[in-house]
Amino acid sequence: MHGAVINEEELKNDILVIESYEVDEQKVFSNMTQSLENCLLWYQSNSKTKLKEICSNLDMNLQTIHNNRQQYVEVLRNTIVHYHEMEEKVIKAMEREKNGG
Amino acid sequence: MEVNTKELQKELRHLDLLMKDWEEIQFNLYHQLEKATDHWQDERSRVFYDKIHTEKNNTDKVLNQLKDIQEIYQYLYESYHQFGTVIYCEVTERKKVFQKMEIYVENLKKIYVELNQVDTSFAYPESNSILEIRGKIALQLKNLNDLKNKIQSFLTRVEEIEKEVSLKTSKLQNILIEDFEF
């Protein structure tokens, strides 16, 4: 019945792939943060105040992006759980019907 | 102001590779998320699909800002690396440095004038050495003036670069990426 709306196997596979990208991305984010910090270290000047502020904002955004990635996976996982619950409800309802209510 | 152009160059190369990696991961990740909405089709998946697109636009903004930052550092590297690998300069001390150099130049000039007043039109034991010292002082004066001009143009260039960096950074805006809610 639910094959028409979700393809559980494929969706599970999607989740695994997305998670692996998320892990790779987190490594890149961490290296990027470090790299930006190093750049600030190699340039000492009064002109860098705004640059520092922007880098710190960027760092914060990278963290939010990473958290959001985890939310995407959470939504996909919950979708599978949701459809399993629906399936159980339908089976129970059918059983009740079969047993005469 | 202090710039380590050698280290900055190394870091910029590293940052460039990381940005390329991120672009690729981001492309693949959103592609996979779109694929996921093919494997899940209902009202919620359509909302999810739309939100994912908004998210992609937001992360693109961050990536573009990262490119802007990288461009500023690239400008710093290209502007300063012609002066050396480590450049240290107190632009605010400019006036004091030039005052000191000016005093030095004036003192040398006075000595030169004094030596010029010594009569060397006839030969006597010290006349040759006086002429020699006078020539050396004239050379020192020229070298000192050349040095002063070089420092002057270096400091002017540093001020121009720093001004440009301030202008470029002032154009950068803080971005706010909101938490994903579904």
Residue B174 lies in a domain: no
Interface contact flag, A28 B21, Cβ < 8 Å = yes
Judge if B74 and B122 occupy the same domain: no
What's the pTM?
A: 0.87
Q: How many domains does chain B have?
A: 2
Q: How many domains does chain A have?
A: 1
* A-interface mutation test, from B32, B46, B49, B75, most A Cβ less than 10 A away: B32
Average pLDDT over residues A2-23: 89
Model pLDDT for residues B123-179, shown as the tens digit of each residue: 788 888 888 999 999 999 999 999 999 999 999 999 999 999 999 999 999 999 999
What is the sign, positive or negative, of the torsion defined by CA atoms of A80, A18, A66, B68?
A: negative
Residue A3 lies in a domain: no
In chain B, what residues touch A35 (CB-CB under 8 Å)?
Answer: 11, 14-15, 18
The span from the CA of B96 to the CA of B2, in Å, is 19
Residue A2 lies in a domain: no
Q: Is the pLDDT of residue B25 over 70?
A: yes
The pLDDT of residue B95 is 86
The span from the CA of B133 to the CA of B154, in Å, is 31
Confidence grade of residue B3 (pLDDT, cut at 50, 70, 90):
very high
Nearest CA in chain A to B49: A72
Last residue of a domain, one of B32, B60, B85: B85
Residue A83's contacts (CB-CB under 8 Å, 6 or more residues apart) are: A2, A5, A6, A8
Q: Is the pLDDT of residue A101 over 80?
A: no
In chain B, what residues touch A72 (CB-CB under 8 Å)?
Answer: 33, 52, 55, 180
**Angle at the Cα of A32 from the Cα atoms of A29 and A35, rounded to 5 degrees:** 155
Taking the Cβ of residue A25 and every Cβ of chain B, the question of whether any pair is shorter than 8 Å is answered with yes
Distance from CA of A94 to the nearest CA of B (A): 23
The pLDDT of residue B137 is 95
Residue A6 lies in a domain: no
Interface contact flag, A64 B172, Cβ < 8 Å = no
The span from the CA of B153 to the CA of B128, in Å, is 38
Judge if B79 and B154 occupy the same domain: no
Domain hosting residue B67, numbered range: 2-85
Residue B158 lies in a domain: yes
Judge if B8 and B76 occupy the same domain: yes
Nearest to A47 among B11, B28, B169 (CB): B169
Domain hosting residue A29, numbered range: 12-98
Confidence grade of residue A1 (pLDDT, cut at 50, 70, 90):
very low
Given its phi and psi angles, is residue B121 left (phi above 0), alpha (psi -120 to 50 degrees) or beta? alpha
Residue B112 lies in a domain: yes
